[in-house]
């Protein structure tokens, strides 16, 4: 039985990846942060009583800022595969908390890689890199596109990217960078724009609110479905050699168009319900991200299936269903 360690297991991607790996027969270990309130909502349906025999999902307290804990966890779990997903992942928030973002999203990666090296465990390592690293470089973007980050988050991810590359080249670690374009789902955090809009469309339809406040409607993103992207992460670690891959749908959608898809789904005119609030603008914006995932298709047989309009519909449907419950 293979053993995987997931940082960020309580996040959107962590929850889908855990489902995928448990389904493949893995023993899955996840790092969670100690919190005064429960933070395991996305994986509660997978929880296994530690008193049961054959427990295949094990949760450990830990934090990316605590290097000694990362060492003891790598030593204790001795994973065959490490999926490093944990991060302060909100771009707008990273402008307010640049130091914290650098410490977790950037240096946290170095701490984890160094823990793997110090323990000397033979493992394969997945780095959650991001299309935000391309920033101002015009689309289409692929594995050879130069980075030009436009936020503290993007800059921290560039550091993490190069640390993973360096541990591959300097220490012979099987380390890969998955350069993932935006991927969304009903489990997406409520302050990312797709979920914010889908949730608002459902709540406005239900009569619970009247308006949603948004920032830049002109930004172009390449939005795919998170459940498909975690399959791509797994495939990267099964490849014969470590390499870096873009995962994307290859499509361009503006925030305005995504809003229209969501409101159309509930039979409403979006222009009557969307208002502008400048607090959602960023000091520097990433205007357009459109990925070219042909390398992943060629080498890994991975291709995005769900396109943005379908994604918008499934997200709105899920929020409507949650309200009806």
- Told to judge if 129 belongs to the known catalytic residues of this protein, a careful annotator would answer no
Q: Which of 155, 156, 214, 246 binds ligand F7E (CB under 6 A)?
A: 214
Q: Residues binding ligand F7E: what is the number (CB under 6 A)?
A: 21
- Told to judge if 309 belongs to the known catalytic residues of this protein, a careful annotator would answer no
Burial class (CB within 10 angstroms; exposed 0-12, middle 13-18, buried 19+) of 192: middle
- Told to judge if 132 belongs to the known catalytic residues of this protein, a careful annotator would answer yes
Q: Position of tokens 């990267």?
A: 236
Burial class (CB within 10 angstroms; exposed 0-12, middle 13-18, buried 19+) of 38: exposed
225 is known to lie in a ligand binding site: no
Q: Which of 63, 162, 280, 294 binds ligand F7E (CB under 6 A)?
A: 280
Name the one range near ligand NAP by CB under 6 A: 8-16, 194-202, 212-220, 274-282.
8-16
Within 88-190, residue ranges assigned H as helices are 91-96, 98-101, 108-119, 152-171
| Residue 95 interacts with which of ligand F7E, ligand NAP, none, CB < 5 to 8 Å by class | none
**CB of 104 within 8 A of CB of 87?**
yes
**CB of 247 within 8 A of CB of 293?**
yes
195/265 with CB nearer ligand NAP: 195
189/215 with CB nearer ligand NAP: 189
Name the one range near ligand F7E by CB under 6 A: 20-28, 52-60, 62-70, 190-198.
190-198
CB of 165 to ligand NAP, least distance (A): 16
In sequence order, which residues have a C-beta less than 8 Å from that of residue 190 and are 6 or more positions away?
Answer: 196, 199
* DSSP reduced 3-state for 128: strand
Name the one range near ligand NAP by CB under 6 A: 31-39, 49-57, 134-142, 300-308.
31-39
- Catalytic residue numbers, as ranges: 130, 132, 153
User: Binding site membership for NADP(+): which residues?
Assistant: 125, 211
């Amino acid at each position: 039985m293979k053993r995987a360690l997931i940082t960020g297991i309580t996040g959107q991607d962590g929850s889908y990846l855990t489902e995928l790996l448990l389904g493949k027969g893995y023993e899955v270990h996840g790092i969670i942060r100690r919190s005064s309130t429960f933070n395991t909502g996305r994986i509660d349906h997978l929880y296994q009583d530690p008193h049961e025999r054959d427990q295949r999902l094990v949760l450990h307290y830990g934090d990316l800022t605590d290097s000694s804990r990362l060492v003891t966890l790598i030593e204790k779990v001795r994973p065959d595969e490490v999926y490093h997903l944990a991060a302060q992942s909100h771009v707008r928030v990273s402008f307010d908390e640049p130091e914290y973002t650098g410490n977790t999203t950037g240096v946290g990666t170095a701490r984890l890689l160094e823990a793997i090296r110090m323990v000397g465990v033979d493992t394969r390592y997945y780095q959650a890199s991001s299309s935000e690293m391309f920033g101002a470089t015009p689309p289409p973007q692929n594995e050879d596109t130069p980075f030009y980050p436009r936020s503290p988050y993007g800059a921290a991810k560039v550091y993490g990217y190069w640390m993973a590359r360096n541990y591959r080249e300097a220490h012979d670690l099987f380390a890969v960078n998955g350069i993932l374009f935006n991927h969304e789902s009903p489990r997406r955090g409520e302050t990312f724009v797709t979920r914010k809009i889908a949730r608002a469309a459902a709540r406005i339809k239900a009569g619970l609110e009247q308006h949603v406040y948004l920032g830049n409607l002109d930004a172009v993103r390449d939005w795919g479905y998170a459940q498909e992207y975690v399959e791509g992460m797994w495939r990267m670690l099964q490849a014969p050699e470590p390499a870096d891959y873009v995962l994307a749908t290859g499509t361009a959608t503006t925030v305005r168009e995504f809003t229209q898809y969501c409101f159309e789904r509930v039979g409403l005119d979006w222009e009557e319900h969307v208002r502008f609030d400048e607090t959602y603008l960023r000091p520097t914006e990433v205007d357009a991200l459109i990925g070219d995932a042909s390398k992943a298709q060629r080498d890994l047989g991975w291709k995005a299936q769900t396109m943005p309009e379908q994604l918008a519909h499934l997200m709105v449907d899920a929020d409507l269903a949650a309200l009806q419950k």
